[in-house]
Amino acid sequence: LDMVGGDYLPREIKALADDGRLVFIAQLGGSKGQLDMGQVMRRRLTITGSTLRPRPVSFKAAIAASLRARVWPLIEAGKIKPVIHHTFPLEQAAQAHAMMESSAHIGKIMLQL
């Protein structure tokens, strides 16, 4: 799942496994990026996108109910865990933001209250 788009697109394509799938769910980095179609074809990649913004509330509610029924129990059981790259005290929020902007992390950057 990619929330950034834009200049991240080549990086995302490189990170995909053969037969991999990339789903755009936001465009925080812009709506345009460079795409190597040769990579897409040779490696049989699937690229798609989706947004919930124009969907009706009932559709969003059905997704939330499905997540609650199917995914939340896995989180509660510890079978699904977020990847936390680094935790900063709130007073170091500027350093946390700098790390986020550098893209030198994999996983979540947390602020601790």
Confidence of residue 99 (pLDDT cuts 50, 70, 90): very high
pLDDT band at residue 46 under the 50/70/90 scheme: very high
Quote the DSSP letter at residue 17.
P
Taking alpha carbons only, the member of 17, 84, 77 closest to residue 44 is: 17
What is the pLDDT of the chain when averaged over all its residues?
94
CA 20, 71, 29, 101 torsion-angle sign: negative
Interatomic CA distance for residues 112 and 92, integer angstroms: 9
Q: How confident is the model at residue 103 (pLDDT cuts 50, 70, 90)?
A: confident
**What pLDDT does 104 receive?**
85
pLDDT at 89: 97
Interval 48-85: pLDDT, tens? 999 998 999 999 999 999 999 999 999 999 999 989 99
Q: Which long-range contacts (CB under 8 A, 24 or more apart) does 21-24 make?
A: 21/45, 21/46, 21/47, 21/48, 22/46, 22/47, 22/48, 23/48, 23/49, 23/50, 24/48, 24/49, 24/50
